[in-house]
Amino acid sequence: MLLMTITLAQASAVLFDLDGVLVPTVELHKRAWKQLFDEVLPPQVPPYTEQDYYTYVDGKPRYEGVDSLLKSRGMHLPRGSSSDASYVRSVCGLGNRKNEYFEQQLEQQGIEPYPDTVDALRHLLAQGLQLAVVSSSRNAEAVLSAAGIREYFRTVVDGGVGAQEHLQGKPAPDTYAYAAHALGCESAQCVVVEDALSGVAAGRAGDFGLVVGVDRGAGRRALLKAGADLVIEDLVELIEDSVRRARFHQMPRLDTSMYPLDPWSFAQKGEPTPESATLFSVSNGNIGIRAAGDPDRSLGSGTFVSGYHDTFTITHPEGAYGYARVGQLIQGVPDACGFTVRADNLPLPQPEETTQKLDFRTGVTTVYSRYRLRDGAMLNMEIGRMACLFDQDLALCTLRLDCREREVQVEVNGRLNDQIPSKPVSSDPRKSAHVDGCGIHEEQLGKAGHFKQGQMRLYRCNNSRLPLLVAVSQRLEQAGQARELGGEPWQFSVKPGAAVTIERYVAYETFPIEPQGLARGLEVSTVGNDVQELVRSGAAALERAQQAGAESLLIQQSSWLDDFWQRADIRVEPGDDGRIQQIIRWELFQLAQVTAQIPNGVGAKGLSGLGYDGHYFWDTEIYVLPFLIYTDPARARQILHYRYTMLPAAYKRAAALNLAGALYPWRTINGEEASAYFPTGTAQYHIDADIAYAVTQYALTSADKDYLASEGIDILVQTARMWLSLGSYRSDGHFHLQCVTGPDEYTALVDDNFYTNQMARFNLQAAYRAVQQLSREDGESFGRVSKRLRLRAAELQEWVDAAEAMAVPYSKEHKVHAQDAQFMSRPEWDFEHCTARPLLRYYHPLAIYGHKVLKQTDVVLALTLLSSWFSAEEKRLDFDYYDPLTTGDSTLSAASQSVIAAEVGHDDLAQHYFMESLFADVCNLHSNTTDGIHLAAAGGVWSTLVCGFGGLRDTGGTKLELSPRLPQGWKSLSYQVQVKGTRIRVRINQQGTDLERLSGPELELCVDGSLRRV
């Protein structure tokens, strides 16, 4: 019979064993059994051991357990009757004596369920599942009541029911089948959860839909061998998708046999996974190409283009004024980097070997595969994918085939993949949603779609009306000869010793977004709208590529990356096998490729996947921009320019919330607020201060006065105006910000969030100082700015006053800064019993908001960004208080925790959080790598190395200082930064810190409290 395993989501009921699954009565049972057999077994037979418990009695009815153990010792007693007194020397008498011992211990010691039992049961009931207990014990009802969990179960089938109904005990499936029938369910609809081998065997024998083994000592292999479909260690795993983060300390390394060590590349041997498609993706900031690993390369699984998205009307079941009304979804574009190959008129078999490799010095991802054909000949295939870092319009895809044994007839189909993907179903808010009506459709180009150099196709988003032109051409090279390829499929022969290579050039053309929101409807404005302009650009891009050729494009790509690594590489000697250095470069490469070209904003996932719907958040300004400000300030300015062009949309959003100035959207692509859940969306007003912080950090660190006068000042002034209108003075004389949400989304709609207040204070001060600087240094610019922004002297003073009076929540009892005005009065989250992670997926927001529990710690992040505002003792006390309350459910959390932990001397924690951030994606620690790179985590790795271990702090560019904290066990760390036109290299080892000026004028820096001239 073919058994079909179901998932928990498909089940109707869950049938639990009791002892060792829901409650730890196993210890009571073990002691009772030991007490019995120590009394009963004669000295001439082997004494009773703990292994005997698992082998002979665990999971069986009591009398069968007695009989089984006695027979293992060659002993035979009459069965007797269940009414036998405990002193009667019969199987039943001894069984009753064991029960007396158990009841004595239960009465004396009581029993508590396993820490996560209640949490798991509540979640299962909330999913509409029926629950039952199936136990061999006659004490099941008493144990469930003593443990306080009887109410969760509709049916209890215990040893008494089994005897009354004449049911065979485990490993026979009778008791489980009886429970399923009592619940009105078929066995195939039920999940059996067991810790005993006999119970697992019963579940398997009864053809139940899913048999889950709980490893409480029986062993994973033994449970699987007994018939378990799945083995878990804790019940919470029934409701979680993954517990990778919780067990990170057990697996901080990648298997070198699967992921070879190489400081300049990252490779994976074996079948690519959905995570591989993300990890080996390539991008140039305008084009993003996922790697091998997705089931297909349909829309959303292959290629993305910057800013290209569709829109839809957000439907609020209970709407209100000012709610976000236009949703935005990143739109996958037709993919040109997939090839379907047939050999000898047959589909290729499964490859015998596969390796996927991303080279950090060439920016090319290559998939190497070896196929054994029917006659044993080996066909080698190599697919290369590259987004040209030096040319935003171009991508290069190559296919190379060779066979040494014989000639092979090959057919290759390389059609554009514009297939609509299947609708994803997920309750995870981090994943992209599917919205009916969103998507793309093809429009006819007529004769313009066919030209000498290749072929073009025009697409348009259904609602946003954004156009996209895809232009492709390809040529075949073999034995030094080249010819153009047109049409599909392509047929040719691969001869021994003469590899065949197909080079495909792809150009994607669309118009940059005008991120000023939507005036009406769903159509998005762009910089340009003439489709013929796209046609001309596409033709020009293909012509550039064809004239250069693939080899020249690869050389230009390598040259671009040589320049990047020369100024941005971070070298470490951490005393490991080289893996840390390898993954550091993988993270830096992600930052490099996603910011190589910046036609629009930079999304939280870059262009590596559908996660977060492709939206831009505060991540860019706080986690990505510091890297650019200190390594490539020109690109940092480009990103800030996009925020400047978003100001009209920010004015409109502020007006909708009855505020002055500008309020930036919490999540967006086109400038319109796209967050439908305002408590953790629009209420995160701190995004204004985050952008103002980045503006200030860039302007002061790069000394770009032109930017400040032309664009930066507008952002600073308009965000300062927003804060002044949002807050108010109270009778205590302080300026308060009410009903806001900080970066920590587990404490929403609070008063005086510490991070928000402190960053708003910085914002107000920065606006005042910028205006004053312009007034002193550039009177002409100041005049234009004053007129453009209608500045008033009284207004400037209001900023100063509000900043000085800003409320700073503080707990005198704990001697720490309070996360918000209400935080210290809340009860602490039950970390022992409510363990499912991330919390936002498994607990209602109201259950979270009322507790002391953090997704990420706002206070510690404020200490990091505004370092010079706080003493070392304040940082230590704050960190020590908030760290145990932080779940780290956000990938943004670990970086700031590592930075402050390093500063206050918690070296072990600093290294732990660094590793957690470093391996977040490559080890899939948050179970969503398949949705795209966590770009902020990559920026956090740079910040941890440079600002944490490397000791660089600048308080938003206002006070630059170095105080390195090299981790214990590390030999050295070196990095480069550019400050006011001067590039320096910082080298840190156990002996101290060395500074070397590489270019630019002399610079004075404070290092460990002393001034140094470089």
DSSP 855-907: SS-HHHHHHHHTGGGS-HHHHHHHHHHHGGGB---STTHHHHHHHHHHHTT-H
Q: How confident is the model at residue 249, as a pLDDT?
A: 45
pLDDT surpasses 90 at 487:
no
Which secondary structure element, helix H or strand E, spans residue 213, and what is its range? Answer: strand 210-214
Structure-block tokens of residue 273: 């996974």
Element (H, E) at 851: none
Residue 743 has pLDDT above 70, yes or no: yes
pLDDT class for 233, splitting at 50, 70, 90? very high
How high is the pLDDT of residue 452?
63
Alpha-carbon radius of gyration of the chain: 33
pLDDT band of residue 2 (cuts 50, 70, 90) is very low
Please check the confidence at residue 453 and state whether its pLDDT lies above 70.
no
20-77 residue pLDDT tens: 999 998 788 899 999 999 999 999 999 999 999 989 998 788 899 999 999 999 999 9
Give the pLDDT confidence score for residue 243 in this predicted structure.
40
Is 225 a residue whose pLDDT tops 80? yes
Task: Find out whether 296 and 262 touch, Cβ atoms under 8 Å.
Answer: no
Q: How confident is the model at residue 449 (pLDDT cuts 50, 70, 90)?
A: low
Task: Please write the tens of the pLDDT for every residue from 471-485.
Answer: 999 999 998 888 999
Span 147-162, average pLDDT:
95
Q: Which two tokens stand for residue 867?
A: 């370092």
Please report which confidence band the pLDDT of residue 445 belongs to, taking 50, 70 and 90 as the band edges.
confident
Tens of pLDDT along 76-100?
999 999 999 999 999 999 999 999 9
How many CB atoms sit inside 10 A of residue 575's CB?
11
For 258-281, what is each residue's pLDDT tens digit? 999 999 999 999 999 999 999 999
Whose structure tokens read 């490559």? 922
Q: Please tell me the predicted confidence (pLDDT) of residue 229.
A: 94
1 or 627, higher pLDDT: 627
Digit-coded pLDDT (tens) for 553-591:
999 999 999 999 999 999 999 999 999 999 999 999 999
Question: What pTM did the predictor assign?
Answer: 0.91
Distance, CA of 909 to CA of 857 (rounded, Å): 15
Alpha carbon distance 439, 329 (integer Å): 9
**Active-site residue, 543 included:** no
> Per-residue DSSP letters for 35-100?
HHHHHHS-TTSPPP-HHHIIIIITTS-HHHHHHHHHHHTT-------TT--TTS-SHHHHHHHHHH
- Marked catalytic residue, from 64, 503, 673, 745: 745
**CA distances, 462 to each of 311, 432, 435, 443 (Å):** 8, 18, 12, 11
| pLDDT confidence band for 470 (50 / 70 / 90) | very high
The pLDDT-based confidence of 246 (bands split at 50, 70, 90) is very low
Q: What's the pLDDT at 295?
A: 87
The residue-averaged pLDDT of 148-169 equals: 95
The two three-digit tokens of residue 195, written as one number: 């810790």
Question: Which segment of 322-326, 419-423, 446-450, 870-874 scores lowest on mean pLDDT?
Answer: 446-450
Taking 90 as the threshold, does the pLDDT of residue 497 lie above it?
A: no
Judge whether residue 424 has pLDDT over 80: no
Which DSSP category does 621 fall into? I
Percentage of the chain surpassing pLDDT 70? 97
Residues 154, 376: Cα–Cα separation, whole Å: 60
Phi-psi region of 458 (alpha: psi -120 to 50; beta: other; left: phi over 0): beta
Query: Could you read off the pLDDT of 815-874 as tens digits, one per residue?
Result: 999 999 999 999 999 999 999 989 999 999 999 999 999 999 999 999 999 999 999 999
> pLDDT value at position 431?
62
Mean pLDDT to the nearest integer, 211-219: 93
Instruction: Report the alpha-carbon distance of residue 207 to residue 359 in Å, rounded.
Output: 49
Nearest-angstrom CA–CA distance, 136 and 317? 49
Q: Which residues contact 705 (CB under 8 A, 6 or more apart)?
A: 699, 777, 778
Cis? peptide before 115, omega within 30° of 0: no
pLDDT in tens, 603-613: 999 999 999 99
Mean pLDDT score across all residues of the chain = 94
Mean pLDDT computed over 596-625: 96
pLDDT of residue 451: 63
| pLDDT recorded at residue 625 | 98
Pick from 313, 309, 920, 936: nearest CA to 610: 309
